[in-house]
């Protein structure tokens, strides 16, 4: 068997675990699109490595499953951004992705048409009655997007998933509201992921936050039950492999439930055809650090041991905003508040108030690597 745990890629929707409240909210949005023909949005945000891409992929899979099989009239497009994207580029990107999905369904429909004599019932997906000529190509990207939606026949809904939306320009962020709220026959579900400050950008600067009302989630570490699901789901078809209760507790203790680290330690602990116990988890810590090395090793490389211990204590508070007095109660010495600002772990937002801007996982990683004693 191939090792089912891999921190370098989003978790397979088939193995997905945890985040039940978020999945319930996403399912509610999908149901409203199917039954009430209502558009809507889902926003997930948080630090890197907290599982945003995995959650996006799971919601995409749920949308695909809303009307399964070859008769599906659900159109799903997902794009992960890696560079600054303007509003025109956004519309061009999602239009091209929608046309690609339509082409796939039409190709399948054409194939089924040829063999329909061999089956009792064949459902043909909706078709696009659109003349894509030179005049159409000269229209604005927004016009082309709307023209495809307006002429898409028989669609149940269109899901647009944008991962790493931090790369959207201010103008493109404003268009998120337009994509959802434009009056049209076909409902559009918008699923977006971003970093820790992405929700604040929506609230403070661009005002499309209301499209995510009731479905905006700040992802944090897994609780123990979620970690248990994440560990057990990928091996449910492997009867000879199991996690003991002690192993699950120990892995949670070591990783603090941080999804990326959970995958790193799970990958290092896994052995085909063997149960995984607490002793095995303890023996795999060094190997798990190697699994995360390519990303985490260069983060805060110049930080002192006390810098990392201070950062660790802040991360364990499960808070992202705090005052100087809060930091003192956490056991962060006053001189190290300034050190953490210099290291860009926290940033001052007003006099005596700070926001956490770096992933706590980085502190957890380096504390393990340096074998530091926290004393709490």
Would residue 234 count as lying in a domain?
Answer: yes
Alpha helix ranges (H) inside the chain: 20-35, 52-64, 87-115, 134-137, 141-150, 170-181, 198-201, 224-232, 245-255, 259-269, 278-283, 285-296, 305-316, 324-329, 334-342, 360-370
Would residue 167 count as lying in a domain?
Answer: yes
- Note whether 247 and 205 are same-domain residues: no
User: Do residues 122 and 116 make contact, with C-beta atoms less than 8 angstroms apart?
Assistant: yes
- Note whether 332 and 258 are same-domain residues: no
- Note whether 170 and 51 are same-domain residues: yes
User: What's the order of all strands across the beta sheet hosting 216-218?
Assistant: 74-80, 157-163, 188-194, 40-45, 216-218
Q: What is the pLDDT of residue 318?
A: 86
- Note whether 211 and 67 are same-domain residues: yes
* CA–CA distance, 87 with 168 (Å, rounded to integer): 8
Q: What is the pLDDT of residue 149?
A: 86
* Residues spanned by the domain of 319: 305-370
> pLDDT tens string for the chain (376 positions)?
689 999 999 999 999 999 999 999 999 999 999 889 999 999 999 999 999 999 999 999 999 887 665 456 788 899 999 999 999 999 999 998 988 887 777 665 454 444 334 433 333 344 455 656 677 778 899 988 988 888 777 788 999 999 999 999 999 998 999 999 887 888 999 999 999 888 888 876 556 678 888 889 999 999 999 999 999 999 998 888 999 999 999 999 999 999 999 999 999 999 888 899 999 999 999 999 999 888 898 899 899 999 999 999 999 998 899 999 999 999 999 999 999 999 999 999 999 999 999 999 999 999 999 999 886 5
Q: What is the pLDDT of residue 126?
A: 46
Strands 353-356 and 321-323: antiparallel
Would residue 263 count as lying in a domain?
Answer: yes
Would residue 72 count as lying in a domain?
Answer: yes
- Note whether 172 and 130 are same-domain residues: yes
pTM of model > 0.85: yes
- Note whether 232 and 211 are same-domain residues: no
Would residue 5 count as lying in a domain?
Answer: no
User: Do residues 186 and 157 make contact, with C-beta atoms less than 8 angstroms apart?
Assistant: yes
How many Å from the N-terminal Cα to the C-terminal Cα in the chain?
40
- Note whether 135 and 257 are same-domain residues: no
Would residue 239 count as lying in a domain?
Answer: yes
- Note whether 203 and 228 are same-domain residues: no
CATH number of 336's domain: 1.10.10
- Note whether 119 and 241 are same-domain residues: no
**Tokens representing 47?**
């630090």
CA distances from 190 to 5, 91, 97, 171, 374 (A): 29, 13, 14, 17, 43
* CA–CA distance, 336 with 347 (Å, rounded to integer): 13
- Note whether 253 and 183 are same-domain residues: no
Residue where a domain stops, chosen among 200, 218, 236? 218
- Note whether 260 and 134 are same-domain residues: no
Q: What is the pLDDT of residue 72?
A: 60
Q: What is the pLDDT of residue 204?
A: 65
Domain total of the chain: 3
How crowded is residue 277: how many other Cβ atoms within 10 Å of its Cβ?
17
Q: What is the pLDDT of residue 74?
A: 85
Residue 10: name the closest of 62, 65, 64, 48 by CA.
48
CATH number of 190's domain: 3.40.50.300
- Note whether 181 and 42 are same-domain residues: yes
Q: What is the pLDDT of residue 375?
A: 67
């Amino acid at each position: 068997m191939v090792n089912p745990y891999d921190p370098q890629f989003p978790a397979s929707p088939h193995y997905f675990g945890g985040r039940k409240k978020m999945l319930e909210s996403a399912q509610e949005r999908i149901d409203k699109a199917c039954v009430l023909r209502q558009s809507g949005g889902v926003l997930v945000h948080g630090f890197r490595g907290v599982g945003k891409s995995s959650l996006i992929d799971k919601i995409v899979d749920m949308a695909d499953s809303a009307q399964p099989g070859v008769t599906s009239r659900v159109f799903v497009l997902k794009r992960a951004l890696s560079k600054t994207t303007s509003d025109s580029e956004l519309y061009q990107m999602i239009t091209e992705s929608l046309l690609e999905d339509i082409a796939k369904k039409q190709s399948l429909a054409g194939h089924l048409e040829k063999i329909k004599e061999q089956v009792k019932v064949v459902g043909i997906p909706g078709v696009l009655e659109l003349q894509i000529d030179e005049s159409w190509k000269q229209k604005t990207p927004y016009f082309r997007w709307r023209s495809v939606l307006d002429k898409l026949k028989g669609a149940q809904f269109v899901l647009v998933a944008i991962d790493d939306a931090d790369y959207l320009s201010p103008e493109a962020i404003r268009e998120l509201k337009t994509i959802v709220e434009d009056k049209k026959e076909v409902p559009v579900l918008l699923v977006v992921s971003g970093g820790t400050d992405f929700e604040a950008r929506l609230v403070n600067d661009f005002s499309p936050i209301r499209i995510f009302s009731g479905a905006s989630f700040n992802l944090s570490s897994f609780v123990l039950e979620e970690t248990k699901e994440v560990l057990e789901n990928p091996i449910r078809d492997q009867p000879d492999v199991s996690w003991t209760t002690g192993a699950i507790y120990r892995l949670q203790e070591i990783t603090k439930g941080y999804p990326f680290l959970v995958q790193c330690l799970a990958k290092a602990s896994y052995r085909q055809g063997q149960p995984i116990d607490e002793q095995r988890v303890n023996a795999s810590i060094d190997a798990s650090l190697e699994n995360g090395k390519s990303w985490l090793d260069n983060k805060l490389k110049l930080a002192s041991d006390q810098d990392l211990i201070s950062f660790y204590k802040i991360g364990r508070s499960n808070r992202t905003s705090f005052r100087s007095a809060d930091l003192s109660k956490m056991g962060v010495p006053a001189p190290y508040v300034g050190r953490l600002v210099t290291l860009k772990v926290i940033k001052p937002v007003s006099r005596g108030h700070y926001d956490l801007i770096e992933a706590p996982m980085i502190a957890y990683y380096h504390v393990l690597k340096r074998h530091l004693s926290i004393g709490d």
